Amino acid sequence: MKFLKTLGAIALLAASQFTHAQAWPAKNVTWIVPFAAGGPTDAMARDIADKVSRQLGQPVIIENTPGAGGTIGAAKAAKAPADGYTFLVGHMGYMGAGPALYKKLSYDPVKDFEAVFRFPDTPLVMLVGKNSPYKNAGELVAAAKAQPGKINFSNAGVGSTSHLIAALFAARAGIDVTQVAYKGAAPAINDLIGGQVDAMFDQSNTALPQVQGGRLNAIALTSLTAMPQQYPNVPPLADKTLPGFEAATWYGLYAPKGTAKDIVQKMHQSYLKALADKAWTERMAGQGIHLLPEAQYAPDAFAKHTAAEVERWRKVVRDAKIQLD
């Protein structure tokens, strides 16, 4: 009798897990974007969420939770119920460099999350105002050498990619710059356009309309190769100013630890189906977004990538002496 009861319980449990997976998603799914609306993380997340939601058959709602370079939104996602209805859009900053940058981080990018899928990567571009005296990165470096700390870089928050790349650039160039933190790249760009700050590194895709619209000048790229289609006549930093310098931002979707594997798989499969739309992937490539081999988008590969990045950034932060102040 006891044996039968146990069997019954196992059967019930299996059945409930089965219907759980079958029924998901039964309502809206939320993706937390830990930056202000209108910036690169937000733009990329909204674009991908729109395509994925069509495959899922339920709306994906973007919730902007900005502050502290993405760590506030990431902490919120880590504590969310692992029921398949809350996800985090993560990037190289708070999910890669975070543990090396913050002494007390309330979440662990590896232990507190399930990696769901990786987005395509985006290189960055160094931007200056329309009336800036700096026509190329070499001139900016020379000015910073002449007057240490004089040049202000706006960024999307302490630990954001715009902050990290500016710090890496300054370390490699041997200059001191002053970093000014905002709640996302969108407000940081606004102040660059307004002339309150001198320069900023922004993702190449969201910077493009500002450059093409004549509001900002692009003076250098962080990719190793030029982007003649998107940024004609803008050289990679590696060309002259900093040989070998290369940086890009990676992004991806995470779920709170313990989210059912079949939910993670279904989300990933929906993304792969969306990526089969060539018109969409060609549009992304046209904006300078780097599409990756399909295997790199997978949950396992993205989990390994996250863990490797956490280790890589420990060394980078130590070597470049990046400090949060």
d(CA 129, CA 195) in angstroms, rounded, equals 6
Q: For ligand ASP, which is the closer residue by CB, 205 or 241?
A: 205
Cα end-to-end distance, the chain, whole Å: 66
Q: Is the peptide bond before 25 cis (omega within 30 degrees of 0)?
A: yes
CB of 101 to ligand ASP, least distance (A): 12
From the list 78-86, 181-189, 220-228, 266-274, the region that binds ligand ASP by CB under 6 A is 181-189
Asked if 1 and 58 count as a contact pair (C-beta separation under 8 A), the reply is no
Q: Which of 127, 185, 248, 322 binds ligand ASP (CB under 6 A)?
A: 185
Q: Which of 71, 160, 217, 241 binds ligand ASP (CB under 6 A)?
A: 160
d(CA 36, CA 55) in angstroms, rounded, equals 26
Q: Which residues of 22-49 are buried (b: 16+ CB within 10 A; e: fewer)?
A: eebbeeebbbbbbbbebbbbbbbbbbbb
CB of 227 to ligand ASP, least distance (A): 18
From the list 142-150, 154-162, 215-223, 228-236, the region that binds ligand ASP by CB under 6 A is 154-162
Q: For ligand ASP, which is the closer residue by CB, 71 or 230?
A: 71
Sign of dihedral through CA atoms 60, 62, 68, 73? negative
d(CA 75, CA 224) in angstroms, rounded, equals 34
Q: Which of 31, 35, 254, 302 binds ligand ASP (CB under 6 A)?
A: 35
39: contact with ligand ASP by CB under 6 A: yes
The neighbour count for residue 202, using CB atoms within 10 Å, is 30
d(CA 295, CA 308) in angstroms, rounded, equals 16
156: contact with ligand ASP by CB under 6 A: yes
Q: For ligand ASP, which is the closer residue by CB, 30 or 55?
A: 30
Q: For ligand ASP, which is the closer residue by CB, 62 or 224?
A: 62
From the list 78-86, 159-167, 233-241, 275-283, the region that binds ligand ASP by CB under 6 A is 159-167
From the list 79-87, 157-165, 238-246, 313-321, the region that binds ligand ASP by CB under 6 A is 157-165
Sign of dihedral through CA atoms 128, 133, 136, 142? negative
Q: For ligand ASP, which is the closer residue by CB, 84 or 120?
A: 120
Residues 6 or more apart whose Cβ sits within 8 Å of residue 94: 34, 69, 70, 71, 74, 109, 159, 160
40: contact with ligand ASP by CB under 6 A: yes
CB of 33 to ligand ASP, least distance (A): 8
d(CA 140, CA 133) in angstroms, rounded, equals 9
Q: Which of 184, 236, 288, 299 binds ligand ASP (CB under 6 A)?
A: 184
Residue of closest CB approach to ligand ASP: 39
d(CA 75, CA 73) in angstroms, rounded, equals 5
Residue found under tokens 């004089």: 150
287: contact with ligand ASP by CB under 6 A: no
- Collapsing DSSP states into helix, strand and coil, what is residue 31? strand
161: contact with ligand ASP by CB under 6 A: yes
List the structure tokens of 133: 């005296």
Burial of 190: CB neighbours in 10 Å, binned 0-12, 13-18, 19+: middle
Tell me the site size for ligand ASP, rule CB under 6 A.
15
CB of 71 to ligand ASP, least distance (A): 11
What part of residues 79-98 is at the interface with ligand ASP (CB under 6 A)? 91, 93
41: contact with ligand ASP by CB under 6 A: yes
Give me the residues that bind ligand ASP (CB under 6 A), please.
35-36, 39-42, 91, 93, 156, 160-162, 184-186
